[in-house]
Chains A and B, each alone.
Chain A
């Protein structure tokens, strides 16, 4: 991006150099699975004030962990920038005001930006008994979500609770908690599951939307493929240990100390879709994710795994097919017939047949005829 353009909003960056900013945009691009050549485009989008959609951020049955996680990206001034990038019209955690004024601000924003604002839902939606188990300002959350979602331009469910129900939906699910996609049937809802999700998954999705005007590729459950397209097992740094059959059997044993695979200790990596081993957490270097610290993954992003299968219960592997490294039932074997051997064998057979033929010829027709000319052989 041009230097003079950069100068326009340099003040808001709080002292970050242009180079660092471009670096950030490149990282953002690559974490989106895009070419770093698109970094300038991302930078433009971030810098341009024209494309700042309003955002309504609703909290349901949440712990606010997902909001908290967004405060963790490495450059605090940048996340302020991102929040500036979007016009956060309503967010219970970060609102300055509260009470009727806050609610009024929300309703006004919805009216003014109908069809254009982004709705972010954090926390699950309790549906039992008309949703009385979560009320904001006296209003059941179910109603809030219904009304808001009907006017939203895009809906993002952040965190496992909003994506598929999370902790509140764990058995016996007394409040009838469900995720936003299940509640808002028929609507396109982007899910960013995780407990909490890696903040860059959310940030990258938003930046993608702002830069290109559309959401990144989503999978069948509405999860961005760049983040949730692969199993943790496919990219885990301990995978070579799994492939070589080296497992930690107990916490603290020799295998555990050596950093062996944690599959036997109940790691859910083989059945969980996420990008934790690739982008890690908190930008403080390698190993900053559960498996890296020595505890098996518990599958927080995956419905049916997280908060359902016990922490140390071993899971079945999801395998697309048998590893090509394994030998087939009947391996291919090289042919042992060489030209030389065949020639030698053939020569011998020929010699025997030849000698016999010669002898046959020399045999006397009528029996008992002694050969007088007994010469030396």
Chain B
């Protein structure tokens, strides 16, 4: 029985050694928190200002040439039930009880806009084996490049918000998600959802300014008249505003810190979990996975060491006899 014990010791020693060495590196090498890109652009969506008119949905479909998704056989109305390969941006409704009062959790209703959040530390970018999803180093927009994509759909698993969608019905499928209308930027345009929004629920602008605007709103007196910018803020904005009573906000800016921060952020009058936005830690999940990978495979040091050890052990074992299978 001593041989068996020796086997066990050898086996566990090697793996233990590996882990022991990797362990502290794993714990420490949770890769550093990513910083906001220098010219980060984003969207601030304010559920209390949203009237559910869906102008952003039709603006988005038009700007991105997306097809209508409809239950109606004559396809007169665009009625997607969720983000999909045909829908980059959707307004959903929350209802409770008799749904009679806006932005009230009980017996009330509220709206939420769902689209890609363009995370500061995107899980999809880290997950994609072929860099088909990339984060622009200046604007921070997470874009998709079909010439690289192999259609493995790991990005769908990795995204904490379930944003990337797949063209299941196509023989040459692509991943589909909001790209912040980056194709309109050279023509001086900006996110179509924001340019369509009549009430200022969705505004586009530099993330720093959106953060400041959101913080200002959280301090407003509920019911007191205040000015709200329309369409966009920051350089190049028209400066149009609308004046109306401020809503009663849930005192939290969603996306400020969730999974390392996102460039599309949310304000609402009901708890975010009711609106389908999950409660997430400040650290991106990708950091842990990345950390483990990094610790073990940093410069391929450990693998090469292990390879060397294995070759040594095999050669020693082969000894006199040739290593013949």
Contact = CB atoms under 8 A, between A and B. Distances in A.
B99 A264 contact: no
Contacts of B55: 244-247
A247 B53 CA distance: 11
Contacts of A313: 242-243
The 6 closest A-B pairs by CB, nearest first: A245-B55, A322-B93, A331-B81, A245-B58, A322-B109, A326-B93
B175 interface: no
Given A247-B55, A326-B92, A319 B275 contact: no
Contact of A327 (B51, B56, B90): B90
Nearest to A249: B195
Nearest to B57: A245
B151 interface: no
B58 A244 contact: yes
Interface in B23-62: 51-59
Contact of B53 (A242, A316, A328): A242
A314 interface: yes
Given A264-B198, A328-B93, A331-B81, 15 more contacts: A244-B55, A245-B54, A245-B56, A247-B198, A263-B198, A314-B244, A321-B109, A322-B52, A323-B52, A325-B77, A326-B91, A327-B79, A327-B82, A329-B92, A330-B276
Interface in B55-89: 55-59, 77, 79-82
Interface in A208-259: 242-247
Contact of B95 (A242, A246, A314, A328): A328
Contacts of B95: 321-322, 328
20 contacts: A242-B53, A244-B54, A246-B58, A264-B198, A314-B198, A314-B199, A315-B244, A316-B245, A317-B51, A319-B52, A320-B100, A321-B99, A321-B109, A322-B52, A322-B93, A322-B95, A326-B52, A326-B54, A327-B80, A328-B94
Interface string A342-355: 00000000000000
Contacts of A316: 51, 199, 244-245
Nearest to B247: A316
A329 B59 contact: no
Interface in B97-140: 98-100, 102, 109-112
Contacts of A315: 244
Nearest to A314: B242
Interface residues of A, number: 25
B196 interface: yes
Interface of A: 242-247, 263-264, 313-317, 319-323, 325-331
A233 to B, nearest CB: 11
Nearest to B49: A316
Interface size class on chain B is 35 or more
B10 interface: no
A316 B244 CA distance: 7
B89 to A, nearest CB: 11
A372 to B, nearest CB: 29
A321 B82 contact: no
Contacts, number: 81
A325 B90 CA distance: 12
A320 B109 CA distance: 10
B274 interface: yes
Among B55, B56, B109, B110, max chain A CB count under 10 A is at B55
A327 B58 contact: no
Chain A residues touching B, majority SS: loop
A314 to B, nearest CB: 5
A61 B263 CA distance: 57
A323 B93 CA distance: 8
Contacts of A243: 53-54
A247 B195 CA distance: 11
A348 to B, nearest CB: 24
Nearest to B95: A322
Nearest to A331: B81
B243 to A, nearest CB: 7
Nearest to B100: A321
B275 A329 contact: yes
Interface in B238-254: 242-245
A255 to B, nearest CB: 11
Contacts of B275: 329
A245 B53 contact: yes
Contacts of A264: 198
Contacts of B54: 243-245, 326
Among A242, A243, A322, A330, max chain B CB count under 10 A is at A322
A329 B112 contact: yes
A249 to B, nearest CB: 9
Contacts of A325: 77, 79
Contact of B111 (A244, A322, A330): A322
Among B57, B111, B242, max chain A CB count under 10 A is at B242
A327 B84 CA distance: 13
A331 B82 contact: yes
A244 B77 CA distance: 8
B112 A319 contact: no
Contacts of A327: 79-82, 90, 92-93
A322 B99 contact: yes
Nearest to A242: B53
Contacts of B244: 314-316
Nearest to A329: B276
Contacts of A323: 52, 93
A322 B80 CA distance: 16
Interface string B273-299: 011100000000000000000000000
A242 B275 CA distance: 24
Contacts of A320: 100
B139 to A, nearest CB: 25
Contacts of A326: 52, 54, 91-93, 111
A246 B198 CA distance: 10
Contacts of B79: 325, 327
Contacts of A245: 53-59, 196
Contacts of B51: 316-317, 319
A329 B274 contact: yes
Contacts of B276: 329-330
A170 to B, nearest CB: 18
A263 B242 CA distance: 12
B200 to A, nearest CB: 9
Contacts of B243: 313
